[in-house]
Structure 1
């Protein structure tokens, strides 16, 4: 067994991601802020990180969390049907157990090799009560392994209706949010997972957004989470059985959940996407995709598959050339649900 000093040296080495010296995503111009945790301006003392305190009530609520949502499988349709590729009929999906999606994704191809992805997502506060939840997420998938980040309103998970920063990990056997299982190592001294946002966007009012990025470290093999270009922490390569250097599918967009017999909650801004207008849209702008060598894949002008489980309630729109340098390849998504 390695002694404590050796373990500290190894951890220190892991906490110096080579990816931070490479090209990063643009800093958002309408950055939302996360609620401070009563720390000083400098954050936690050296050698420590902030951890959200979990109470007995939190543990009780977590037993009510629904099972993981599963995976959407986008398949290459026959040549005769390729003009209708964006049709839900051209897709094969795994049952989602009460989940509803409105997403844009890469094609489901086991030969894909993605070394990361990002988005700058508008932060909203869609109404969710009881066991409902509503979220926007960036999701990377390889087989049964899934990592994702974004924002969510989840009374079951957090005990309130505030919009919070989250991550989720699933290896097919274990599934957990934030730091509820030992799958993620946080290194940032000021930001922790599960923190609420101070500001959220309002329809035809002020917009707030935040940059989310998941990126594979080419040298050390870990998957890093960056928020507004700041390293928050990493999923060590050792926690996965087959996710050491690339993902095969990436998804951007919205997800909601409602138990059987309960009306569906709003998604995003609570409105259907409106083209040529950002004042009421939930969006993921300046989306990026990396190959397995950490190089940007040019997505500008490239049409990606869209998918919605319930188009009458929620819609996703892929806009490869959204007007304005602040948007580039943008995804619009959302809908009113049933309430």
Structure 2
């Protein structure tokens, strides 16, 4: 009991420093007590390494024993029957013939080829990381607020969520229905690297939700989270009042020893390139036990899962799915660019996009999306074009999105 109380107390301290936000950046002076608490947090976050490896971008990853990874610090995940050879029971059959960047990103390692089997790559956290991440903004904080007409000429308006202050969205969403039952969703999205400054971030994401429980995955440029402005993969979960990126707090169980959840992508799209660089990803519910799995690439590379035990709403099916771009800036900072940093023109060689939008129904069957609602919270700075049947293709739902934000761009 004492051990459990101590871990819970340490976890709360980690969350306090990671999630508190005061909107102020610059030099941070720590008291002796704060410095001591941060040292304790680093010991909690940085698990003993079986091996330490580096990427060619200078990131340090510790190869942590599967059973000692941060996920198992969650009080609800102790003594669970998880193991490194876990395989999901999924019905995923959708295939994608275009080039994906996921396999290329496996070449990030400087001298190695990922971690040994039985271990998982966890990015090492420094004290500077903890100080910087104190300024991670709170979640978007959606609430029912307005109605939007369906762009596909449906006559009835559909309720939608509106974003909280600081967040700008250019997304499409399945028409809201509390009786929806989705066992997952997927997309392919081009990789871009918008110019981002301090107190800003920009991302492309797949979002699955039921009530206050949310799962997200995609790519992100976020100097507050990552200390650099590289385009990196990210995952995020929200369970009630708790939210967390990547492995910064317990929750996501990694099973893949080669592919970090916060990997920096090798190849980035440039405007006008005829060859596109994509990441393909899926979030799917294991119909056998309710765990939510993250899969990358057309080969369904299994990265890990969020156990259903950590949720209250997503213990069953999701009822809301969303795809597209999101950008954030603090109130004192101009709006950041999104996607290609230009308003979309409907050309895959010039626009950021999400394509082949699909969901799984409650039987695990792939359903291609025809009807969606468009959401642009700041049309002066961002735009979106929704094409349910791109160039007449039956299963090619394309969403072009992006914009310059408050910056001048040559588009």
Q: State the match for 1:40 in structure 2.
A: 112
SS of aligned partner of 1:156: helix
Give matches, 1:199-238, under 5 Å.
199-205=267-273, 206-228=275-297, 229-238=300-309
TM-superposed CA distance for 1:12, in Å, is 2.6
| C-alpha distance 231-9 of structure 1, shift in aligned 2 (>3 A) | same
Question: Matched residues in 2 for 1:232 and 1:83: separation?
Answer: 38
Q: CA deviation at 1:25?
A: 3.7
Instruction: State the SS of the aligned residue for 2:206.
Output: strand
In the alignment, is the contact (CA less than 8 A) between 1:245 and 1:292 conserved in 2?
A: no
What is the CA distance between 1:262 and its match in structure 2?
A: 1.2
Cα distance, 1:22 vs. partner?
A: 4.1
What is the CA–CA distance in structure 1 between the aligned matches of 2:241 and 2:192, rounded to whole Å?
Answer: 31
Instruction: Identify the match of residue 189 of structure 1 among 240, 257, 260.
Output: 257
Indicate yes or no: 2:360 matched with 1:290: yes
What's the offset of the Cα at 1:71?
A: 2.7
TM-score, normalised via structure 1 length: 0.88
Q: 1:127 aligns with which of 195, 198, 212?
A: 195
**1:30: how far off?**
4.3
Between the aligned partners of 1:149 and 1:166, the Cα distance in structure 2 is 6
Residues 216-264 of structure 1 deviation map (CA, whole Å, 9 limit, x = unaligned): 0001210000010100000001110121231110000000001112111
Q: Secondary structure at the match of 2:81?
A: helix
Does structure 1 residue 303 correspond to structure 2 residue 371? yes
Cα RMSD over matched residues? 2.6
How many residues align? The count is 325
SS of match in other structure, 2:336: coil
- SS of the aligned residue for 1:286 comes to strand
SS at structure 1 position matched to 2:366: coil
> C-alpha displacement at 1:9, in angstroms?
8.4
8 Å contact kept, 2:100–2:280: no
CA contact (8 A) 1:303 1:319 kept: no
Is 1:318–2:386 an aligned residue pair?
Answer: yes
Q: Residues 74 and 223 from structure 1, CA distance in 2 versus in 1: closer, same or farther, beyond 3 angstroms?
A: farther
The aligned runs of 1:71-220 (5 Å cut-off) are 71=142, 73=144, 93-205=161-273, 206-220=275-289
Question: C-alpha displacement at 1:122, in angstroms?
Answer: 0.3
TM-score by length of 2: 0.73
Q: Is contact 1:74-1:107 (8 Å) kept?
A: no
Offset, 1:180 = 0.6
Which consecutive segments of 4 or more residues in structure 1 shift more than 4 A?
72-79, 82-86, 324-327
Counterpart for residue 320 of structure 2 = 249
Shift of 1:28: 3.5
Aligned residues of 1:27 and 1:211 also touching (Cα < 8 A):
no
In 2: Cα distance, 1:264 partner to 1:9 partner: 44
Matched, 1:18 2:89: yes
